[in-house]
Structure 1
């Protein structure tokens, strides 16, 4: 699957192999005709396309979802695979603009069953969608170019440095709440490129994303991890308001995974060592 221009959707089919382990599912990509129409999954859970659990996401956003070798993989993807497996359907992923996640547009239009995009649960978003139980405790972080000489937002402000963030995210909202007018980038890749090319001196973005970037030596040599910003955020998967059966199925998959150790295994695979408070 390839990245598409803003406003377009790329479609990829993820096929669950019978008996595959949750952390090692067989994945195939291809085209879907979409001719089957709505249907029901196991337990009478309604789905927008028969035999599939259609997930809206926004690529790339590693370690939660990104393309690797033609496959869409990541922590969010693996958790939703658990839901799909329980419902005896295949997960299909649509790449969609992030701003629609706040309004639930693709859920309401019947294009997707759920949205999974490293999305923070907020009161504003709850007006438009129903969220699953939280599946991830998140914080924001400041990442700056080493040559900028800054490691805190106060230094960014006092030094009159340029700050960036991903558009329509809580990172952007937080920066604005602190009196900044951040340069908005469409995707996390664009945020990183903006930092690399000097469009901005520092960025505010989710800490796990920064962790992933800094695993690359070139990034670690060029950038410095600044302050960690505790915002009390939690991620959730969203469904169309009133879709109680699918919400219950998602909640059960998350709860069961935390109880049987699958969640911990996936967390360590995609994100890293689990904080003691969550283990």
Structure 2
């Protein structure tokens, strides 16, 4: 739900041991034939809701930019995408792959060295920066230091959290576990600002015009779709689909749909 950063992974060895005992199942149900899927004919995606416009629930259905991209992968595999909403910690530690909860993770997730130790990433598919959301009409904020003596909300276990802690001496930091609660806290005045990925904040401000994105920080983050460590067949297939989508205009069409 943000360029979410990896938490320290203390169970990496245990995860690797679990992965070593896994067998592969291709879409046709044959062992070892092609991309590995948890359930034949189904591409199971782990995500953590909400994280609009990448993934959110509308009218009882999970939709979003990531959802549409992964649908392209599912179609290429002759499978149907099934989305599992799971705590983000299970995704970023690699545990959801180890216990075979899902085939891939799509959650507006930044590629980081820590995560790459417990999962494999596709080629980058989205560039992101950190940004600050504030109530419209408040004192201008251009950098985190401008919030000295005030409250800055951040989302737990994200790159925004790391950035706020590094650049916010004298700022009162307030942690949230849900991005919806974080952004609502800006509107209610519970916090003076919120730090998160620019794509999410710009989308929120568009639909909540009493808020605005005050500034952005060029953190150079890139999102990737993640698969179980060593599942190269699925990772290569995802990369092929992403490359084709960028060539044939499918990626641009999906981007316009969700970002305008």
TM-score by length of 1: 0.79
Counterpart pick for 1:259 among 247, 250, 260: 247
Aligned to 1:209: 200
Q: CA deviation at 1:38?
A: 7.3
Q: The residue matched to 2:130 in structure 1 has which SS?
A: strand
Counterpart pick for 2:152 among 121, 144, 163: 163
Q: CA deviation at 1:197?
A: 2.2
1:39 equivalent to 2:25? Answer: yes
Aligned to 2:11: none
Instruction: Report how many aligned residue pairs link the two structures.
Output: 231
**CA-to-partner distance for each residue in 1:128-152, whole Å, 9 max, x for gaps?**
1110000001111111124642422
CA distance in 2, matches of 1:38, 1:95: 23
CA distance in 2, matches of 1:172, 1:109: 28
CA contact (8 A) 1:130 1:240 kept: yes
CA distance in 1, matches of 2:27, 2:96: 20
CA distance in 2, matches of 1:174, 1:229: 9
Q: The residue matched to 1:138 in structure 2 has which SS?
A: strand
CA contact (8 A) 1:108 1:240 kept: yes
Counterpart pick for 2:227 among 239, 248, 268: 239
**Which ranges of structure 1 fall in alignment gaps of 5 or more residues?**
1-36, 273-279
Aligned to 2:107: 117
Aligned to 1:87: 77
Q: CA deviation at 1:179?
A: 3.4
Aligned to 1:197: 188
CA contact (8 A) 2:65 2:254 kept: yes
CA distance in 2, matches of 1:101, 1:177: 24
1:135 equivalent to 2:125? Answer: yes
- The 10-residue stretch of structure 1 (133-142 or 194-203) with the greater mean CA deviation from structure 2: 194-203
Q: The residue matched to 1:142 in structure 2 has which SS?
A: strand
1:66 equivalent to 2:56? Answer: yes
CA distance in 2, matches of 1:116, 1:201: 30
CA distance in 2, matches of 1:149, 1:99: 35
CA distance in 1, matches of 2:249, 2:138: 42
**CA-to-partner distance for each residue in 1:107-161, whole Å, 9 max, x for gaps?**
111111110000000111111111000000111111112464242212112xx11
CA RMSD of the aligned region, Å? 1.7
CA distance in 1, matches of 2:105, 2:122: 10
Q: CA deviation at 1:40?
A: 1.2
Q: Superposition pairs for residues 5-84 of structure 1, below 5 Å?
A: 39-41=25-27, 44-84=34-74
CA distance in 1, matches of 2:152, 2:138: 11
Give the ranges of 4+ consecutive aligned residues of structure 1 lying more than 6 Å apart after TM superposition: none
**Which ranges of structure 2 fall in alignment gaps of 5 or more residues?**
1-22
CA contact (8 A) 1:171 1:204 kept: yes
CA contact (8 A) 1:150 1:156 kept: no
CA contact (8 A) 1:114 1:239 kept: yes
CA distance in 2, matches of 1:244, 1:164: 38
